[in-house]
Amino acid sequence: MKQLKDILYGVHLTSVKGGTTKEVKSLSFDSRVCGKNDMFFAIKGTRVDGHDFIPQVIEQGCEVIVAEHEVETPENVSLIVVSDSHEALAFVAHNFYDEPSSKLKLIGVTGTNGKTTISTMLFNLFSKLGYQCGLLSTVVNKINDRDIPSTHTTPDPIQLNALLAEMVEEGVSHCFMEVSSHAIHQKRIAGLKFGGGIFSNITHDHLDYHKTFKEYLNVKKSFFDGLPSTAFALTNADDKNGMVMVQNTKAKIRTYAVKNVADYKVKILENQFSGMLLNIDGVEVWTKLIGNFNASNLLAVYATAREIGEEQEEILTAISELESVAGRFQYFRSDSGITAIVDYAHTPDALENVLKTIGDIRTKNETVFVVVGCGGDRDKAKRPLMAEISCNMGDKVILTSDNPRSEDPEAIIEEMMKGVDGTNFKKTLSITDRAAAIKTAVSMAEPGDIILIAGKGHETYQEIKGVKHDFDDMKTVKELFKKLEK
């Protein structure tokens, strides 16, 4: 057990009532599992305020409370008042687990699109280079070869620091971590010691949470503002906000780009479904990945490895062996020659990038089908944009469900339809059932045609009215191809 006074280091205290020498065996912001020798953090959420549960946790035996204002407590309870419970939880968690992020090389990846691909490829690259590695991502958390299910892009501070501590215990030297805007805003990463930060891009997303694009940008920027002078800040010079991200950072600024002048450059020499031939910093390398956006992602991976100190030849050799990340431009070709592509594209920019990649590779003699939906309880402004991009860049469009969550899926499709103008109306279908929508595209497609199934990517479920149902886009389309070809 740890002494309370030791794990409060770095926390900005407003006041302390009671002693600070109590022993703490675990941290919690869940009142249902809090008892004696636990430290309870009263967190204000979007729906529930943890302060309302303080009497309950005291009754359960909890003797250490962290809150954002004074509350009535018995004499035997230590009440610690802080200005921000979220931030205090993150700092305490980092201290409680003996500052694990300072014992490995922690690299954070942030941006709207590309976080999962960059962080996962870095994990795979450094694993190939012989390092013990950790990964914290939307798809999965990993400690070397061991998978740990992921429920959020960035875990809560307790889970996050516990995972980092476990990595340290198992000899991990490098950890690559997606850093979401929600995690930055909710102070989940407060107190962590980053060795480097990577910015991929910033486009329209999460405005249901951040309200304005400016706020969304500023939250992302604050990650780089907080990097120490010992870290590097690698930014995408092709993004118009790339230099804005790093304008106030103390870290060493480095840039990468496909189109613009930068410290690290890549040129696409060939681009086809089997892969790309790239020129990275003057050296040609073949990769199994596809598309301009992946050329940019790979360059970010290469630049990061160089900044960490790896040799160019070893990096490029490992890059040539990397596979695509689950649900990111994964493609499958049926026996009859129909190509199905599954991609996580759930923002207008990501969808446009994927369709542009298909446009660059296609012969123009085939039909491109786009099966696309938008998630419920999320940013509504992007719905008509997603439909508009699909219609402008695809030949046949089927609007369907994504994860409708608590919303009516048909109402979501109606909002998407606002982006379909008169000239595109005839090539657009609305099929609410996602499996039926994919089946329709498969049945309409002819040999040589391309079907893009966008929005869910790696996800193996569909969330409807609070219930997660088994659903896998790639599995569904493969099964349909088999039935079609029997």
385: CATH: 3.90.190.20
- Asked if 290 and 182 sit in the same domain, the reply is yes
Q: Give the domain-ending residue among 42, 65, 95.
A: 95
Report, in angstroms and rounded to the nearest whole number, the Rg of the chain calculated over CA atoms. Answer: 24
Say if residue 235 is in the same domain as residue 183: yes
Question: Mean of the per-residue pLDDT values for the chain?
Answer: 93
Is residue 324 situated within a structural domain?
no
Q: Is residue 113 part of a domain?
A: yes
The reply to whether 347 falls in a domain is yes
Let me know whether 171 and 75 are in one domain.
no
Which pLDDT band, with edges at 50, 70 and 90, does 213 fall under?
confident
Is pLDDT of 210 > 60? no
Q: Does 411 share its domain with 295?
A: no
pLDDT exceeds 60 at position 141: yes
Does 358 share its domain with 232? no
pTM attached to this predicted model: 0.87
**Mean local confidence (pLDDT), 286-309:** 96
235 shares its domain with 380: no
- Residue % of the chain over a pLDDT of 90: 78
Q: Are 451 and 338 in contact (CB under 8 A)?
A: yes
Per-residue pLDDT at 442:
96
**Within a domain: residue 325?**
no
Task: Return the CATH number at 167.
Answer: 3.40.1190.10
- Flag whether 450 is in a domain: yes
Angstrom distances, CA of residue 102 to CA of 98, 186, 250: 9, 21, 18
**Predicted local confidence at residue 211, as pLDDT:** 61
400 and 469: one domain?
Answer: yes
Same domain? For 315 and 336 the reply is no
Q: Where are the beta strands (DSSP E) in 307-445?
A: 330-333, 339-343, 368-372, 396-399, 428-430
* 288 in the same domain as 307: yes
- 445 within domain boundaries: yes
Residues 295 and 279: their CA atoms lie apart, in Å, by: 10
Sign of CA dihedral 102, 223, 120, 296: negative
pLDDT reported for residue 209: 59
Mean pLDDT computed over 343-348 = 90
Say if residue 485's pLDDT is above 80: no
Q: Are 96 and 5 in contact (CB under 8 A)?
A: no
The set of long-range contacts for 160-164, using a CB threshold of 8 Å and a minimum separation of 24, is 160/93, 160/136, 160/188, 160/189, 160/192, 161/93, 161/94, 161/96, 161/97, 161/100, 161/101, 162/93, 162/97, 163/134, 163/136, 164/97, 164/100, 164/101, 164/104, 164/106, 164/134, 164/192
Residue 334: pLDDT band (50, 70, 90) is very high
pLDDT of amino acid 422: 93
Q: Which domain holds residue 133?
A: 98-319
Q: Do residues 232 and 301 share a domain?
A: yes
* Portion of the chain with pLDDT greater than 70, in percent: 98
- Last residue in a domain, options 79, 95, 111: 95
Q: Does residue 115 lie in a domain region?
A: yes
Q: What is the CATH number of the domain that holds 72?
A: 3.40.1390.10
Same domain, 104 and 206: yes
- The total number of structural domains in the chain stands at 3
Contact, 78 vs 7, CB < 8 A?
no
Q: Does residue 175 sit in the same domain as residue 72?
A: no
Mean pLDDT for the stretch of residues 394-418: 96
Angle between helices 348-361 and 382-393 (to 10 degrees): 10
Whether residue 270 is predicted with pLDDT greater than 70 in this model: the reply is yes
User: What is the tens place of the pLDDT at every residue in 6-17?
Assistant: 898 888 888 888
